[in-house]
């Protein structure tokens, strides 16, 4: 059993689009909290979650604050392990150049391997 204060590997899986629910902003908050407690944090964007880090988001028409620039600050919080599932990008007509932050693109097999390496997986 791991003791209190032991660093754990956390994987935050972002599956939902950034707007229409609170999941995306809640996931970002959880990532920042885990990082503040010096945990080993990774973030994976799959399905419509890839839209969370898409460049050029404009939320004025829907009357909500655009929180996507906050993803650029993750590196300053030592959150540098950002991943995107290749198939999710492709299905949405996106490429790495469409994204706000540097990511590592993984195939489905690599995503499964990443998940196997984690102590805690939180899906939003």
Q: How far apart are CA 71 and CA 82, in angstroms?
A: 10
pLDDT band at 7 (very low <50, low <70, confident <90, very high): confident
What mean pLDDT value characterizes the chain? 92
Q: What's residue 6's pLDDT?
A: 81
d(CA 104, CA 26): 22
For the segment 77-93, the average pLDDT, to the nearest whole number, is 97
Read off the pLDDT of residues 15-35 as tens digits, 9 standing for 90 and up: 999 988 889 999 999 999 999
The third-level CATH classification (topology) of the domain covering 9-123 is: Hypothetical Protein Ychn; Chain: A, (3.40.1260)
Asked whether the beta carbons of 75 and 111 are under 8 A apart, the reply is no
The pLDDT assigned to 1 comes to 43
Mean pLDDT of 77-88: 96
* Dist. CA 18–CA 68, nearest whole Å: 8
Strands (E), the chain: 9-14, 40-45, 81-85, 104-106, 120-123
> Quick check: 110 pLDDT over 80?
yes
Q: What percent of the chain has pLDDT over 70?
A: 96
| Average pLDDT score over residue span 88-96 | 97
**pLDDT for residue 38 is more than 50:** yes
Q: What is the pLDDT of residue 83?
A: 98
**Domains of the chain: which residue ranges?**
9-123
């Amino acid at each position: 059993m791991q003791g209190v204060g032991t660093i754990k590997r956390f994987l935050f899986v972002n599956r939902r689009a950034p707007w229409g629910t609170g999941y995306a902003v809640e996931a970002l908050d959880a990532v920042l909290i885990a990082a503040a407690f010096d945990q080993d944090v990774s973030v994976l964007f799959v399905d419509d979650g890839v839209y969370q880090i898409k460049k050029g988001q404009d939320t004025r028409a829907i009357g909500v604050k655009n929180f996507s620039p906050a993803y650029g600050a993750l590196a300053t919080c030592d959150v540098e392990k950002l991943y995107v599932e290749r198939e999710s990008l492709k299905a949405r007509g996106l490429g790495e150049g469409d994204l706000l932050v540097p990511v590592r693109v993984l195939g489905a097999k690599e995503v499964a391997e990443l998940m196997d390496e984690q102590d805690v997986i939180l899906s939003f």
